[in-house]
Amino acid sequence: MRDSISIARLGIPAVALVTEEFWPQGDFFATSSGMPEVPRVKLPHPVAGTGEDKMAEVASDITPSIVELLSS
């Protein structure tokens, strides 16, 4: 989340990928960092260690949202 905020501050389009368990923390960081609207996409939790097939499925599911946010 902080990486995304730091990149956005540089004027570079950024989208944070945040798992559902960490979604409230993402909101907290975005607000406390002064960028409550920083773009973010929700992922299932967990992602790490779930295997290549599952990760490919998650990537496939969220890619349109990422493209849409970067294009808006």
CB of 59 to another protein, least distance (A): 17
- When asked if residue 46 is in the footprint of another protein (CB under 8 A), the reply is no
Q: Which is nearer to another protein, 9 or 67 (CB)?
A: 9
Which of 11, 49, 60, 72 is close enough to bind another protein by CB under 8 A? 49
Query: b/e map of 4-25 (b: 16 or more CB within 10 Å)?
Result: bbeebeeeeebbbbbbeebeee
Q: What single string gives the DSSP state of each residue in 27-57? A: HHHHHHTT-TT--EEEE-S--TTS-HHHHHH
- When asked if residue 6 is in the footprint of another protein (CB under 8 A), the reply is no
Binding region for another protein (CB under 8 A)? 2, 22, 24-25, 28-29, 32-33, 49
